[in-house]
Structure 1
């Protein structure tokens, strides 16, 4: 079996190299224009070859941007959204105001219909958030709207969000995928079960999902806003990267994502394909389950942090793509603390801490990661580095969905993961990743709990003064670093391989694929 798989991979690499003719230097298609200008045309099918399938298509149950990218701003839309400069803009709400500390009022857009023909109105907004917040539904994303006490219908096109406490980043959460408005008929059909046929107001209509194979969306010809330029979008699940890239070369697909760092040079040399790069809000990190031995001891976590030589990982694994992280907030996120310091490489200190914790000869532990090239490469480098302090690292590589499921359940000791901040606000990072209420599927896969961290995070949520919010987040980040809950690796760069026939494609800083303006030559 291994021999067959290896032979197939070698053949695919040779195929890619054969198909690529000519040579060029590395290019960033986010900043360059290619020579001749050929007019783009509307219509056609956009095929996106992806590493992994969505875990589900219900944004109230999604735990990954990978899944949200399929439906957010395509099938589902929120009351507000972000433009290309990441600024909050009207979407299904035309305007809004904060009436007082705990009341926000939204005036809704008229004349909008869901894909099933149902009118979009205040009752639809209320039905969506009532479902999200219903304890019987048990949505893992309910935690991000925990402060919403009631969505109150004022009239057909006016709603108020009544909060239990002041919450400054409300608009940023409403602009993320969790804020997508669902057709009341779909809510009635599925109730507390996961929605298998998403039904929103967006520029694309859900057509079909064959799990493990493909998801198909078609153009919404009755869309209230500017209509999509392509007729159909097909998200194909293609686990092998060489296959994804060869599909672009042969015209079977137009976008392949994610693109790994090792494959960047190959793609950059192509006459048919470009490398897309943009800095994201998210970060990649090494995490510990702080409730599991030996990582329930802070000294052990600090020892591991001191034993990791991050510069060699960034250079050797990532070819310095994505700058070194000093926390789990990307530098573009509101609340980022530039003064944060990660643990320095110091083997003597690492050995000393292990001995103090009762592990003078080290220990054996399992590190889990998803099946991506960089993550596996990083795991192998960590395995080599940690031998220096007597830690024997067993690497377990899992299919993406399985890995996420195990991390959410706490079936981990040590893991490599990333968090793609969906809102650009530190709250989305701090509350989801570190608050006690978020343990498990909501994001806190460290299973970390600290009353002082909870207090700081909650205070920052309710603080109106933005400079004071930044200071509170600086304090919470310092506390999390002091307790070595994680080891920051790098700020994520969004990478994709894109056919030169495609125009208008981008990936938002949050990591969502932006397809509404895409056209194909």
Structure 2
């Protein structure tokens, strides 16, 4: 999809809000100041959806689902888990059977109580749609799960798994048992309910019967907008109150503008360069190390993220509690890179194609800059910019060398999706049976400190031997009107829980 010109976007946004019943005379009018939050989120309108249990590609959809539906838990500070619909997660001695206790005062917006049967139905449906959602709950044997009473569920894992609470964070959207029609929003029990609009431009009204603290904002409008500059312009022009994930350049330009503020989500965005270990020339560890040593990480950080973030050290989840400490920074060493290439039989040079796209701000800039840096080590790189609408289906986990994306998810999620031998998108072909066995052993450790140290050792080995060049970690940057407060600043899924956002 081509980016909209800022002026065209303003007109389009105004038209969309009017069509949804939120224009003149609606909740966005002057007579409702302070009651409606207008939020433009990352999302392609053409792919917006209403099913919360399959693949969710749009941040706009995820944010809407987090308002409409309860989840068992959400990310807490410093990598902890904050119970939500659940009140407790109690494991047996082997860490294979978990008793999940639910709050007794939750109800769907149609008045029905939320029961354990609704929770188990929702979890089973998520499990059944594993092919769509990257095996989100693949650690469970749902056939053995049981409802003990109206407010208690027993879940069974296929192997000992110490981090079940974390596995049940954020995406465990609960719907009534037996729901089959997801062509439109279904009944939820979250802090808001659907009041109008559609998946592309949703109007949500506060659910005054929600079990949690009453949200301060009566109405929230969520619009899917794919272009980061258009999202920012919506706030700058007064057509929106919050724009999620804007360009670092926009943030710099907005400095000194007292009508807006920037919310930093520290070190949550990375565009690693991905090398497949099962294809030449990256099947040779000397080539992989040479590519890593050729990176000028500070230059990449300064020019792609404009310094909003920190230099990377080839660790995929540096903010995770299990990330290893004391790992020496990988310094640029062109001479050593050339030496390694010579040892690998590429003393006369090496020709590569690096795929990239414009899905996220700066992905194409990063690839172009990295290609120049690799050239200094004798690696000639052709950068191929692929269309963003097909990049994640035709390039991601398929091409030999490309620009990837990670958005602040926990290490256990990264392992499940991209690292274990049976991971649904093992994009680097990192298939190490001994690494998998060590991961399985670590996940059976009940003591948090010991388990994190063992997971950290696995991450260090991946850094040294794997196919990721993690050159930097950028801040997540949201632009908001100055009157907005309470926006979440945590990594990953924490950013979509916006029910505490306040206007004025």
TM-score exceeds 0.5: yes
Q: 2:452 matched to 1:470?
A: yes
TM-score by length of 2: 0.84
Partners of 1:55 and 1:411 lie apart in 2 by 25
SS at match of 2:440: helix
CA distance in 2, matches of 1:497, 1:230: 18
CA apart distance, 1:374: 1.9
Q: Is the counterpart of residue 124 in structure 1 residue 112 in structure 2?
A: no
Name which of 52, 63, 85 aligns with 1:70. 63
The answer to whether residue 377 in structure 2 is matched with residue 383 in structure 1 is no
1:133 counterpart SS class: helix
Give the equivalent residue in structure 2 for 1:35: none
Q: TM-score, normalised by structure 1?
A: 0.81
| Cα deviations by residue, 1:147-190 (Å, 9 ceiling, x for unpaired) | 4453211112211112232211111121232x22232243x335
**1:7-56: CA deviations, max 9, x gaps?**
x57x899xxxxxxxxxxxxxxxxxxxxxxxxxx97522423254655664
2:250 pairs with one of 260, 263, 268? 263
CA contact (8 A) 2:43 2:61 kept: no
Q: Are the structure 2 counterparts of residues 159 and 304 from structure 1 closer, same or farther at C-alpha, using a change threshold of 3 Å?
A: same
Is 1:109 aligned to 2:130, yes or no? no
Instruction: Write the distance in 2 (CA, Å) between the matches of 1:294 and 1:116.
Output: 59
Q: CA 1:63–1:482 in 2, change beyond 3 Å: closer, same or farther?
A: farther
C-alpha contact 1:439 1:448 (8 A) present in aligned 2: no
After superposition, the C-alpha distances for 1:313-345 in whole angstroms (9 at most, x for unaligned) are: 112322321111224344431211122346432
Q: Is the 8 A contact 1:285 1:328 kept in 2?
A: no
Q: Which moved further from structure 2: 152-161 or 471-480? A: 471-480
Structure 1 pair 318/137, CA: closer, same or farther in 2 (3 Å)? Answer: closer
Q: Is the 8 A contact 2:358 2:387 kept in 1?
A: yes
Taking the TM superposition and a 5 Å limit, the aligned residue runs for 1:64-463 are 66=59, 69-71=62-64, 73-83=66-76, 87-101=80-94, 102-134=96-128, 138-149=131-142, 150-177=144-171, 179-186=172-179, 188-189=180-181, 197=185, 199-206=187-194, 213-280=200-267, 283-341=270-328, 343-359=330-346, 360-388=348-376, 389-399=378-388, 401-408=389-396, 410-422=397-409, 424=410, 426-440=411-425, 444-463=426-445
Whether the aligned pair in 1 keeps the contact of 2:217 and 2:503 (CA below 8 Å) is yes
- Report the equivalent of 2:38: 46
Partners of 1:518 and 1:250 in 2: CA distance: 20
CA shift, 1:390, in A, is 3.1
CA distance in 1, matches of 2:315, 2:69: 28
Deviation digits for residues 177-207 of structure 1 (CA, Å, limit 9, x no counterpart): 2x22232243x335xxxx7635432112245
* Structure 2 CA distance for aligned equivalents of residues 12 and 268 of structure 1: 24
Once superposed, what is the RMSD of the aligned Cα atoms?
3.1
Partner of 2:357, secondary structure, is strand
Q: Distance in 1 between matches of 2:294 and 2:279?
A: 20
Classify 1:313/1:394 alpha carbon distance in 2 versus 1 (closer, same or farther; 3 Å). same
Q: Provide the C-alpha distance between the structure 1 equivalents of 2:403 and 2:76, rounded to a whole number of angstroms.
A: 31
- Structure 1 residue runs of 5 or longer lacking an equivalent are 14-39
Q: Given that residues 214 and 237 in structure 1 are in contact (C-alpha distance below 8 angstroms), is that contact kept between their aligned partners in structure 2?
A: yes
Q: CA deviation at 1:431?
A: 3.1
Name the CA shift for 1:144/1:286 in 2 (closer, same or farther; >3 Å): farther
| Matched-pair contact (CA < 8 Å) for 1:366–1:394 | yes
8 A Cα contact 1:304 1:350, kept in partner: yes
Runs (4+) of structure 1 exceeding 6 A deviation are none
